[in-house]
Structure 1
Amino acid sequence: MFKVTPNPPDTDPASPYEPDSKKLNEAAERALNYHFPSTADIKATPRTPSTLFAVNPQATTETLVVYLVETLASVDVMVHQLVDHLDGGDRHALLGISNSIMLAEITANRVLDRIDPR
């Protein structure tokens, strides 16, 4: 049988460069240290909170708690809308989250009652 393409030329499969495992290990260590800093490095870095979303420092406690209660109520409504579309374990997990939201809302309402009992 006639072959249309010629055989590839004979080449040495070994790399022309000498492998240096010490340099390779050092490079790997540098890469790992760069991408995954140690706990000490993370703790040494000062935390600078984002100012993109900030709460007005002059807002009263009552205003903050009212906003908290309204936010929790909104999140609870969203969770209940999602629950309608789920079955089984996912549904139970979301109902558990809803229960936690409700408990937080009750707690925030109690704080409001202490601030301004009506």
Structure 2
Amino acid sequence: MSTRTFRVTVRGFFDDLTAEQHAELLAAAPEHDVLRAAFTAEGNLTYELAARNSFAFRFLDSGEAEEDILEATARAELAAETWLTDRGYGFKRLRSTAEDLSQAALSKRQRQAAARTRT
């Protein structure tokens, strides 16, 4: 059985931030800019408080079977909740999306490269 790679995104909104928490997040904002977004095993947080109170965590996980994506999603949600709770940040309306990369469509460039290797 081959290993499947999953990309899980957990989105939500900061809720009831204190002035200190808001200032803390603004100070750390350059580290969490969307241009630095990446899917990582430990999770990558992005937000832009100047525009809105939303955030996104991006996680990279793996499993052996298609149904393992459900456990990967649950782990990602728990990790996001833990990160926020440990820092005392309120949050609301968490929602997750997950993608099994083995099921993802290939781009035109990827299809061309695959065709070249077959000939």
TM-score by length of 2: 0.25
Higher relative contact order (CA 8 A, sep 6+): 2
Structure having the higher Rg = 1
Q: Which has the higher strand share?
A: 2
Q: Which has the higher helix share?
A: 1
TM-score by length of 1: 0.25
